[in-house]
Chain A
Amino acid sequence: MASTPDTVSDLSRRTLLRRAAAAGLLASPAAGLLSACATGSSDKPATGGDKSSDNPLGVPKDSAVEVIVFNGGFGDKYPATDQQLVQEKHAGVKVDLKFTQKIKTEMQPRFSATPPDLINNAGADMMGNDVLANQGALLDLTPLLDAPSWDDPAKKVRDTLAAGTVDSGTLNGKPYALNYVYGVFGIWYNAALFTSKGWNPPKTFDDFFTLAEQIKAAGIAPWVHAGKYPYYMGWPLMDWIQKLGGPEQGRAIDNLEDGAWKTDEVKQVITRIQEMVSKGYVLPGSEGLSHLQSQQAWLDGKAAFIPVGTWLESEMSSPPDPKDDREPKGGRKIPPGFEMTMLPVWDVTGGDKMPYGAARTYAAESWVVPAKAKNPQGGMEFLRAMLSKAGAGKFSELTKAPTVLQGGADAVTGSTALASINNVIKGVGSNQIIVRINDWYADFYNGHQGPIGELMAGRSGVDKFMDDMQRLADKIKKDSKVKKQSR
């Protein structure tokens, strides 16, 4: 009675056992031999079929391609287009699409011996790409990036992608993941409210603090954030640090350099953020709100600014999930006349190293090919089809989200939100804020949320925050089990 499973929850016990049993069976020598028979070789990727101009990646004849798609915010409609593209180009090849929300739960046990050919590794239950790459479980996607693009054979796939896309999927110096959706982080406000009150959106922190007094006097909290998930606040926080300190400061943080969190620039930014908290400019109770609750509070006019990424409008206009305890009371509602508008992070001082307009663009929603896939060529070919004008265009049409294919979303038009996002992206130009540390180190992503939460709850101060973050970075740096990245 008193043994391991009783001490884990019923729910996790079942999954744990299933995983342990499945992984165990697969890892046992006999099963290893079996899988070796099935794949031809258990360690090297399959060699594939003959390459030709029509089949640059060498998809084997009459092969099957198993594609696992995350069935999340982008739905399950769009991959049908890519499936059709691949099957039309390669008669006899069959693409098998499977949809799930439990990527990690279902894929982890399969990884050691019988993984699928392509995985949309995304969502709340995603596997850490750093963890996968460090264990040699992913295939280098260089052949795909160097292959001719779907629409124009004279152009390589890599040259059709938006700036920063390849870098965003690069781990240990190799492009192991392809991020498909393009976006930008910023700060949102309601333009209609601001016009009616005669307020101007701030361009500097000083502007913000002046305006905050007026906003507060109008009975509105100047700032709200998803405190239950402190990484939401981490976005503007780290953007401001890099904007003030410039790309060198950003690199120092990403590269875990000694004292990267102890610089004067970090201190200035955190001091200003702490001022927001101590002056009562943050909606009381923000520190415990979920992303949906905080976004709905902002839509309800309880707060003026909120830091979120490009997906805000589509998220708040999607139907609520009745099973999700993070749903706001009364559902998600965008009030009529509300004009969602995005701003780039404002200036910290008059002397920021990066000019006004600098922002963090990103490529997200990763796709990976397992190293032991039976038909990796087929998996990559599917990705190549996704990066065609037809594939990417359909995706943007269905999901209202731009992809990493340059000009792929030209046909998509829409709201004030989309227009303001386009403005922000245009305004970035060469002043891209780059933050990689969150994808590089799962430990940082998990660990940085504590100190941010404490700062925003007013329980720690500037020095404590800087100490905590530096200690976290140092700990990762010293951990011999963690493979180090740099840029």
Chain B
Amino acid sequence: MRHGRGRFVAGFLAAPLAVYLIFMIWPYVQTLMYSFTSWGGFSNEAPFAGLDNYRQLLSDDTFQAALLHNVFFLVALPLVTILLALFFAFLLNVGGRGNRAGVRGVFGSSVYKVIFFFPQVLSVAIIVILWDALYRTDGQGLINFLLIKLHLVDPNHPLQFVNDPTPFLGVPKVLWWILIVVVWANVGFYLVLFSAAMQSISKDIYEAAMLDGATRVHTFFRITLPLLRDSVSVAWVYIGFVALDMFVWIFALTPQQGGPNHASEVFATVLWREAFTRGQFGYACAMGVAMAIFTLILGAIQLTATRRERIEL
């Protein structure tokens, strides 16, 4: 019986494990192997190049700028998204007048919840089309049109949005405009995540605090935030992944897929260009490996930084 069960289980595991090994692990190993070659992608010849690709990475300006852009998103994206999501979630769940009918959200909170979650339902392609119309750079762009009508923007110098590489706070403006889009697209999901977590916090705690005279600000910082620590930490990891990736957003929203003039390049767009337009698969693989190492280091830092004792409810 026991023996039969073992075989039964193994029978089920073998196929998925094989698929996993062939389609996940083996490509990783190959990427590592190719990163030491100058394989071009269109032939069987992959001449061994030693550490040349890695040496080249160290002197590649575009790659290094791209790395900094990823770091910008890594810092700004979780920060803005989580703060906004927390703020909205708090208002929707416990931010309303709590003195008469117990703790509840602001008026119409269920409607807001749907509206905020809406971008999550849309595919990235649709979001891009939407924002492309908003961000259009001439007088026909939705935002430019309104601002020109309101005399806030000079019709001869409309806003350039994702076509503007000039820096704002040391970061190309195009990245800020993209940040807005990605935050808009993601904030709804985390709002719902935090809402769910907040609803699991007993209302009694809030009511007790309010009886003692705590304000909304107090309850947020003393009760909500500490009890949401786990959710926030998870959210941070998820958004961190988005920030390290960003490929779809940059690729679809910016001119020249990482432009203008390379001002919005990230890891993934540089890797894509090296491999698929320049035919430098070996070099691109080296980038992939560097990216993996970078991610692993960040993951380790993240895990150690957020490790903390759990609060029992």
Interface set of A (CB-CB < 8 Å, partner B): 1-12, 17, 20-21, 23-24, 27, 32, 42, 104, 108, 111-113, 127-128, 131-132, 134-137, 227-230, 280, 283-289, 293, 297, 323, 325-326, 329, 442-443, 446, 449-451, 453-454, 457, 459, 481
Q: B247 contacts A134, CB within 8 Å?
A: no
The answer to whether B221 has its CB under 8 Å from any CB of chain A is no
CA A287 to CA B276, docked complex, whole Å: 26
**Measured between C-beta atoms, what is the minimum distance from B146 to chain A in Å?**
14
User: Could you list some 15 contacts between A and B, CB below 8 A?
Assistant: A3-B28, A8-B288, A9-B251, A12-B272, A21-B22, A24-B26, A131-B277, A135-B42, A229-B255, A284-B139, A288-B136, A288-B163, A329-B140, A442-B278, A481-B280
CA A8 to CA B31, docked complex, whole Å: 14
CA A20 to CA B41, docked complex, whole Å: 10
A112 contacts across to B, CB distance below 8 A:
42-44
CA A283 to CA B161, docked complex, whole Å: 16
Q: B261 contacts A450, CB within 8 Å?
A: yes
Q: B279 contacts A7, CB within 8 Å?
A: no
Q: A288 contacts B241, CB within 8 Å?
A: no
Further pairs besides A285-B140, A289-B137, A453-B260: 7, Cβ < 8 Å = A6-B244, A7-B241, A7-B267, A7-B291, A132-B42, A132-B279, A229-B255
Interface of B, helix, strand, loop or mixed by DSSP: helix
CA A85 to CA B127, docked complex, whole Å: 46
**Measured between C-beta atoms, what is the minimum distance from B26 to chain A in Å?**
7
The 9 closest A-B pairs by CB, nearest first: A285-B138, A288-B137, A450-B261, A131-B279, A2-B299, A9-B247, A288-B163, A325-B129, A285-B137
B299 contacts across to A, CB distance below 8 A:
1-2
CA A222 to CA B13, docked complex, whole Å: 68
CA A463 to CA B30, docked complex, whole Å: 46
Q: A284 contacts B156, CB within 8 Å?
A: yes
Closest to B138 in A: A285
**Measured between C-beta atoms, what is the minimum distance from A100 to chain B in Å?**
16
CA A451 to CA B256, docked complex, whole Å: 12
B279 contacts across to A, CB distance below 8 A:
128, 131-132, 134-135, 442
Q: B26 is contacted by which of A2, A21, A454 (Cβ under 8 Å)?
A: A21
**Taking A2-B296, A6-B295, A287-B160 as contacts, is the C-beta distance between A17 and B261 under 8 angstroms?**
no
Name the residue among A7, A12, A131, A297 with the largest chain B CB count within 10 angstroms.
A7
CA A236 to CA B156, docked complex, whole Å: 24
CA A446 to CA B255, docked complex, whole Å: 12
Q: A293 contacts B136, CB within 8 Å?
A: yes
Q: A325 contacts B128, CB within 8 Å?
A: yes
**Taking A2-B295, A3-B292, A285-B141 as contacts, is the C-beta distance between A454 and B260 under 8 angstroms?**
yes
B268 contacts across to A, CB distance below 8 A:
7-9, 12
Q: How many residues of B contact A (CB 8 A)?
A: 73
Q: A446 is contacted by which of B133, B161, B246, B277 (Cβ under 8 Å)?
A: B277
Within 223-265 of B, Cβ neighbours of A (below 8 Å) are at 241, 244-248, 251-252, 255-256, 259-262
B292 contacts across to A, CB distance below 8 A:
2-4, 7
**Taking A127-B42, A453-B260 as contacts, is the C-beta distance between A285 and B245 under 8 angstroms?**
no
Q: B137 contacts A113, CB within 8 Å?
A: no
Within 78-117 of B, Cβ neighbours of A (below 8 Å) are at none
**Measured between C-beta atoms, what is the minimum distance from B102 to chain A in Å?**
40
B26 contacts across to A, CB distance below 8 A:
21, 24
The answer to whether B183 has its CB under 8 Å from any CB of chain A is no
Q: B255 contacts A8, CB within 8 Å?
A: no
**Measured between C-beta atoms, what is the minimum distance from B85 to chain A in Å?**
21
Q: A449 is contacted by which of B30, B38, B165, B256 (Cβ under 8 Å)?
A: B256
Q: A4 contacts B31, CB within 8 Å?
A: yes
Q: A280 contacts B156, CB within 8 Å?
A: yes
Q: B23 contacts A442, CB within 8 Å?
A: no
Q: A450 is contacted by which of B259, B267, B295 (Cβ under 8 Å)?
A: B259
**Measured between C-beta atoms, what is the minimum distance from A98 to chain B in Å?**
19
CA A44 to CA B158, docked complex, whole Å: 58
Q: A128 contacts B277, CB within 8 Å?
A: yes
The answer to whether B144 has its CB under 8 Å from any CB of chain A is yes
Q: B31 contacts A20, CB within 8 Å?
A: yes
B38 contacts across to A, CB distance below 8 A:
481
B135 contacts across to A, CB distance below 8 A:
288
**Measured between C-beta atoms, what is the minimum distance from A287 to chain B in Å?**
6
A287 contacts across to B, CB distance below 8 A:
137, 160, 163, 260
Name the residue among B156, B160, B255, B262 with the largest chain A CB count within 10 angstroms.
B255
Closest to B163 in A: A288
CA A208 to CA B187, docked complex, whole Å: 51
The answer to whether B162 has its CB under 8 Å from any CB of chain A is yes
Q: B291 contacts A288, CB within 8 Å?
A: no
Name the residue among B42, B125, B166, B245 with the largest chain A CB count within 10 angstroms.
B42
B24 contacts across to A, CB distance below 8 A:
5, 17
CA A293 to CA B262, docked complex, whole Å: 23
CA A143 to CA B277, docked complex, whole Å: 29
Within 262-288 of B, Cβ neighbours of A (below 8 Å) are at 262, 267-268, 271-273, 276-280, 288
CA A128 to CA B294, docked complex, whole Å: 31
Q: A11 contacts B42, CB within 8 Å?
A: no
Contact with A along B51-79 (1 / 0, CB 8 A): 00000000000000000000000000000
B42 contacts across to A, CB distance below 8 A:
108, 111-112, 127, 131-132, 135, 137
CA A227 to CA B160, docked complex, whole Å: 11
The answer to whether B40 has its CB under 8 Å from any CB of chain A is yes
The answer to whether B155 has its CB under 8 Å from any CB of chain A is yes
Q: B136 is contacted by which of A20, A131, A285, A453 (Cβ under 8 Å)?
A: A285
CA A481 to CA B24, docked complex, whole Å: 31
Q: B44 is contacted by which of A113, A229, A285 (Cβ under 8 Å)?
A: A113
A289 contacts across to B, CB distance below 8 A:
136-138
A42 contacts across to B, CB distance below 8 A:
44
